[in-house]
Amino acid sequence: MREIALQPGADLAGFRQAVRGLVADGIPPEQIEWTVAEPSLFGAEPAGDARSDAPPLRLPRPVAELVEEVVPHRDPERYALLYDVIWRVTHGRRGLLEIASDPVVHRLELMRKSVRRDIHKMHAYVRFRQIETAPGEPERYAAWFEPDYFILQAATPFFVERFRAMRWRIVTPIGTAEWDGVTLRFGPSGSRADVPSGDAFEAGWTGYYESTFNPARANPKLMQQHMAKKYWRNMPEAATISNLVRSASSRVERMLEEGPTVPTKRMPEGALAAMLEQAPASLAELNAIIRSSGPLVPGATQAVVGEGPEHADIIFVGEQPGDEEDIQGRPFVGPAGRLLDRAMAEAGIDRKDVYLTNAVKHFKFEQRGKRRIHAKPTAGEVSHYRWWLMRELELIEPKLVVALGGTAVLALTGKQVPITRARGPAKLLEDFPGYITVHPSYLLRLPDEDAKRTAYTAFVDDMRRIRDMGRAARSRVAAE
Amino acid sequence: MDERLTRKLRILADAAKYDASCASSGAPKRSAGRGGIGSTNRIGICHSYTPDGRCVSLLKILLTNYCLFDCAYCINRRSSNVERARFSVQEVVDITIAFYKRNYIEGLFLSSGIIRSPDYTMEQLVLVAKSLRQQHGYRGYIHLKTIPEASPWLVEQAGLWADRLSVNLELPTDEGLKSFAPEKQAGTIKAAMGQMRERIEEAEAERRSFSPAGQSTQLIVGADGASDADMLRTTANLYDRYALRRVYFSAFSPIPDSTSRLPAKAPPLQRENRLYQADWLLRHYEFGVEEIASATEGGMLDLEVDPKLAWALKNRARFPVDVNKADREMLLRVPGLGARAVDKIVRARRHTTLRLDDLKRLSGALKRSLPFLIAADHHPGGSTDRADLRARLVQPAAKQLALF
Ligand code: SF4
């Protein structure tokens, strides 16, 4: 018979070390007696007569996990049962854990379940109370909690992930966890007296709890299945439970007896009518909305809204603002914008007469060193912004809509179209004549000078046709 | 928290409590950044339970219970005499953060009566979510109610900040809506659901965050004349067309200050429970909606036995099923066997032949299953076909409320 004495609590390290030695020596489960040492009688002793030089033991992942999760349990037999499984797994039964109907596996699984549940309940029912601190100091909080098992180490990383910016302590009868904003430390157990006896928000929280309860559905048994009485003494809202349960049926009876009330005759016709006119009535209103909305992809400095006369004859739709536009908050003021200005001027279009806008209203980029490199908007992003673009068109009522490049076409029609083939007059939308040409940034990207020159000439030709189409449309409208 | 604010909180929690569409608060895992608070997990946490046995996970409140609409089933309709209150955006943000820091809640569920205009109302909701995220670096869960009448761009803004969006259909049939919610339109509600589905799927494909926990809705049980089969057909349709994560059912409950047009009686909790069970069969047990409907009486689910058992009793020729041989789909149809137990059976039988003692360790409700299954040492013989089988399997009333 070998005796293995482990430390009280969840002695995972001791158990692991003992198991290595026992497996290496070929000691079967029935020859081992697992005991737990008296708390700190000799300090942290090595586990029983386990050897410390045994080679590490490779266990299948599911078995290692089971060990980790069961060790925090309080059942004195847990170590023996775990060793029984390890022994069988290392002696030809590698798939043992798959047999959930095996009596030992079944018992261990039940233990694992209760440990998980205990951890889960700790995450749920810890109630922090604020500790008074001097003004300017970080806020501090403390909680008292009584877990069933030795779960402090396993349960507290959750609180770090959730309350990273806070300083907090969780005090329990099995130890204390303390987070100072940087490190999580474990210390000796404490008592309820170590945390404040109340908190300024407990009354408000209890009030909320009372109000969110629907007396017509009272079912205290179901409540207790989820939230056993043992937790109540550390939950401020629980003080009100008995009262809520007692008064539930009379509250419901009153509701039923009182029956329907005479409705207040409220026919706010004016308000209801006004409510239907919520759509932005002017470009200024629309642009205010756009400016106050966040970018879809974080990063942009500001929204870049359209620019030009409220009822321009021609509207140019580009892709999205670039680096300079983003900083200045105006469309087409970067290199591509300057090129567009030049082409328009050569074709006799005055920039001040047309409306310039983008399919997407925020700059999206990839940061490379100090430079912000334009990133193409996705189809989803384009359709996000589509609603605004359509409102712009409705408010401006242009005679001609010019799509500069593929993204603009996508925004206007919902379809991807190859620009080179579709270039020229096009049916973009039901209500407005359209025209498709390239985006000026395309000209800037062309590699050689010859190609640039040819493309620019074609672009200016497009601008001339656009000018003529705009004029023709206006005189048509004037004649009607 | 001062008296005045506590009073408001009571009014606006009371006004929100009939909405059950927030029961889940799980979202893709996320943890607090430096200098911030808030995390989410796949499975949300219930931080408390009220004496109705329901989970308190989110701070569930309305921004205001003033409302221009007049939906008959709603305590906040404009013709009701309830006490009214209104939070400012900042107040909601402050209470949420204070409660969250004390670990009372998993996040915020915010809805509102419609004031001024649907757009104005929706904007206020979005503003709350945005300030939580931006001012406080808050990464906890946020569920916003979508006002279907609001402009699409606002719904889209909401999706940038919220984990889940939902719009409640409330009544399963168009006629029901027309007569009880005069200002609402089924078409508008469904269009909003369609828009949200599109955006959610695009964002998933493009790896952006947009309402990452999807969308859900609620149907009220027992306010109008809709049958269970109607409810379930609507439900299946909603899953199918709008890719909803969940459809929640809420037994119509007497409200203070009710209207004479609706039933003043105890909420049909048992019916609600059966609908949830049927919904579970649709989502996790590979049942078709017409299969469940075929096991109803006049469109109503059997209140005494669960819908899976009801279906099995009508399809006895397909039983008994051999646990050592049958495929997973058929095992899932055995009354009393849950999906988890089925998975354990399938895994264990690769290594061993299952006997009754083994099954007892794998399933918690084996008694109900016995007439329908075969094990190495068990055969139900003629008991599957006994005329009184249903009567023998009816559960004692006390147990009926537990959800499975
Ligand atoms: S819109 Fe209808 S359901 Fe919503 S708060 Fe107003 S009355 Fe209630």
pLDDT at A267: 64
Helix (H) or strand (E) holding A170: strand A167-172
pLDDT above 60: residue B403 = no
Average pLDDT rounded to a whole number, residues A286-291:
90
User: CB within 6 Å of ligand 1 — which residues?
Assistant: B 67, 69, 71, 74, 76-77, 113-114
Query: What residues 139-178 of chain B have any CB closer than 8 A to a CB of chain A?
Result: 140, 151-153, 156-157, 160-161
Q: For A174-200, what is each residue's pLDDT tens digit?
A: 999 999 999 999 999 999 999 999 999
Are residue A293 and residue A399 in the same domain, yes or no? yes
Are residue A233 and residue A94 in the same domain, yes or no? no
Do B348 and A222 count as a contact with CB atoms less than 8 A apart? no
Provide the pairing of β-strand A314-318 with A355-358: parallel
Enter the tokens of residue B65. 């219970």
Q: Give the range of the structural domain holding residue A185, as residue numbers without chain letter.
A: 126-194
Are residue A76 and residue A187 in the same domain, yes or no? no
CB < 8 Å to B116, chain A: 271, 274-275
pLDDT above 70: residue A220 = yes
- At residue B224 the predicted structure's pLDDT band, cuts being 50, 70 and 90, is confident
Give whole-number Cα distances, B377 to B24, B324, B359, B389, in Å: 41, 11, 11, 21
Query: CA B51 to CA B276: how far, in whole Å?
Result: 20
Are residue A325 and residue A431 in the same domain, yes or no? yes
Exposure b/e, A250-275, CB count within 10 A at least 16 = b? ebbeebeeeeeeebeeeeeeeebeeb
- At residue A262 the predicted structure's pLDDT band, cuts being 50, 70 and 90, is low
Are residue A171 and residue A308 in the same domain, yes or no? no
Query: CA B354 to CA A418: how far, in whole Å?
Result: 64
CA of B17 to the centre of ligand 1 (A): 13
Query: CA A183 to CA A275: how far, in whole Å?
Result: 53
Substitution candidate for ligand 1 out of B71, B80, B261 with most atoms within 8 A of CB: B71
Provide the pairing of β-strand B55-56 with B48-49: antiparallel
Task: Judge whether A269 lies within some domain.
Answer: no
- Which one-letter DSSP state was computed for residue A324? H
- Comparing alpha-carbon positions, the chain B residue that sits nearest to A272 is B68
- At residue A54 the predicted structure's pLDDT band, cuts being 50, 70 and 90, is confident
- Which one-letter DSSP state was computed for residue B378? B
Ligand 1 atom 7, closest CA: B77
Query: CA A205 to CA B103: how far, in whole Å?
Result: 11
pLDDT above 70: residue A340 = yes
Average pLDDT rounded to a whole number, residues B188-209:
88
- Beta bridge partners, A43, equal none
Tell me how crowded residue B129 is: count the other CB atoms within 10 A of its CB: 26
Percentage of the residues of chain A whose pLDDT score is greater than 90: 71
3-class state of residue B38 by DSSP: coil
Are residue A206 and residue A90 in the same domain, yes or no? no
Q: For A72-89, what is each residue's pLDDT tens digit?
A: 999 999 999 999 999 999
Are residue A303 and residue A418 in the same domain, yes or no? yes
Q: Which of B48-52, B312-316, B363-367, B395-399 has the lowest mean pLDDT?
A: B395-399
pLDDT at A258: 76
Catalogue all structural domains in chain B, each as residue range(s) with its CATH number. Answer: 3-267 (3.20.20.70), 307-397 (no CATH)
- At residue A49 the predicted structure's pLDDT band, cuts being 50, 70 and 90, is low
Question: What residue type is assigned to position B122 of the chain?
Answer: M
B185 contact A CB<8A: no
Query: CA B89 to CA B93: how far, in whole Å?
Result: 6
CB < 8 Å to B265, chain A: 256
pLDDT above 90: residue A125 = yes
* The pTM of the whole model exceeds 0.95: no
The answer to whether the beta carbons of residues B119 and B150 sit under 8 Å apart is yes
Task: Judge whether A267 lies within some domain.
Answer: no
Question: What residue type is assigned to position A330 of the chain?
Answer: R
Tell me how crowded residue A24 is: count the other CB atoms within 10 A of its CB: 15
3-class state of residue A80 by DSSP: helix
pLDDT at A43: 46
Are residue A303 and residue A360 in the same domain, yes or no? yes
pLDDT at B20: 80
- At residue B398 the predicted structure's pLDDT band, cuts being 50, 70 and 90, is very low
Q: Which of A18-22, A90-94, A273-277, A372-376 has the lowest mean pLDDT?
A: A273-277
pLDDT above 60: residue B404 = no
Q: For A203-214, what is each residue's pLDDT tens digit?
A: 999 999 999 999
Closest ligand 1 atom to B68 CA: 6
Task: Judge whether A11 lies within some domain.
Answer: yes
The answer to whether the beta carbons of residues B73 and B260 sit under 8 Å apart is no
Task: Judge whether A323 lies within some domain.
Answer: yes
- Residue listed under structure tokens 């147990």: B399
Do A204 and B9 count as a contact with CB atoms less than 8 A apart? yes
Give whole-number Cα distances, B99 to A126, A205, B58, B110, B157, in Å: 12, 7, 10, 14, 25
A449/chain B closest Cα distance in angstroms? 36
B388/chain A closest Cα distance in angstroms? 31
Helix %, strand %, coil % of chain B (to 5): 45, 10, 45
What average pLDDT does the structure give for chain A?
90
DSSP-H helix ranges across A313-431: 323-328, 335-347, 379-396, 406-413, 419-422
- Beta bridge partners, B64, equal B86
pLDDT at A292: 84
Exposure b/e, A317-326, CB count within 10 A at least 16 = b? bbbbbbbbbb
What average pLDDT does the structure give for chain B?
90
A67/chain B closest Cα distance in angstroms? 20
Query: CA B137 to CA A460: how far, in whole Å?
Result: 49
Query: CA B57 to CA B45: how far, in whole Å?
Result: 6
Do A294 and B160 count as a contact with CB atoms less than 8 A apart? yes
Question: What residue type is assigned to position A403 of the chain?
Answer: A
DSSP-H helix ranges across A176-216: 202-212
Query: If you count DSSP H runs as helices and E runs as strands, how many of each does chain B have, helices first?
Result: 15, 10
pLDDT at B402: 38
Closest CA to A11 of A156, A109, A150, A173: A150
pLDDT above 70: residue A266 = no
Task: Judge whether A409 lies within some domain.
Answer: yes
Task: Judge whether A287 lies within some domain.
Answer: yes
Do A100 and B265 count as a contact with CB atoms less than 8 A apart? no
- Beta bridge partners, A356, equal A307, A316
Q: How many domains does one find in chain A?
A: 4
Query: CA A58 to CA A64: how far, in whole Å?
Result: 9
Query: CA B338 to CA B363: how far, in whole Å?
Result: 8
CB < 8 Å to A106, chain B: 361
The answer to whether the beta carbons of residues A224 and A217 sit under 8 Å apart is no
Are residue A322 and residue A440 in the same domain, yes or no? yes
A453/chain B closest Cα distance in angstroms? 37
CA of A404 to the centre of ligand 1 (A): 45
DSSP-H helix ranges across B163-319: 174-180, 186-205, 228-242, 269-284, 289-294, 307-314
Helix %, strand %, coil % of chain A (to 5): 50, 15, 40
Task: Judge whether A156 lies within some domain.
Answer: yes
Task: Judge whether A434 lies within some domain.
Answer: yes
CA B269 to chain CA mean position, Å = 14
CB < 8 Å to A203, chain B: 1, 6
Q: Averaging pLDDT over each range in B205-209, B277-281, B392-396, which range is the top one?
A: B277-281
Are residue A300 and residue A444 in the same domain, yes or no? yes
Average pLDDT rounded to a whole number, residues B99-105:
98
Do B104 and A127 count as a contact with CB atoms less than 8 A apart? yes
What ipTM was predicted for this assembly?
0.92
pLDDT at A42: 47
Average pLDDT rounded to a whole number, residues A230-239:
95
Enter the tokens of residue A71. 């060790």
Are residue A238 and residue A364 in the same domain, yes or no? no
Percentage of the residues of chain B whose pLDDT score is greater than 90: 62
The answer to whether the beta carbons of residues A156 and A200 sit under 8 Å apart is no
Enter the tokens of residue B312. 């099995």
Query: What residues 29-68 of chain B have any CB closer than 8 A to a CB of chain A?
Result: 31-39, 45-56, 59-61, 68
The answer to whether the beta carbons of residues B154 and B114 sit under 8 Å apart is no
pLDDT above 50: residue B337 = yes
Percentage of the residues of chain A whose pLDDT score is greater than 70: 94
- Beta bridge partners, B141, equal B107
Query: CA B262 to CA B222: how far, in whole Å?
Result: 9
B391 contact A CB<8A: no
Are residue A37 and residue A147 in the same domain, yes or no? no
Do B68 and A268 count as a contact with CB atoms less than 8 A apart? yes
Q: For A424-477, what is each residue's pLDDT tens digit?
A: 998 888 888 899 999 999 999 998 999 999 999 999 999 999 999 988 888 887
pLDDT at A252: 84
| Domain-ending residue, one of A122, A155, A178 | A122
- At residue B385 the predicted structure's pLDDT band, cuts being 50, 70 and 90, is confident
CB < 8 Å to B253, chain A: 214, 216-217
- Comparing alpha-carbon positions, the chain B residue that sits nearest to A138 is B35
- Comparing alpha-carbon positions, the chain A residue that sits nearest to B150 is A278
Give whole-number Cα distances, A54 to A15, A16, A25, A57, A434, in Å: 13, 11, 9, 9, 80
Closest ligand 1 atom to B74 CA: 8
B386/chain A closest Cα distance in angstroms? 30
Provide the pairing of β-strand A424-426 with B55-56: unpaired
Enter the tokens of residue A357. 């806008």
pLDDT above 50: residue A114 = yes
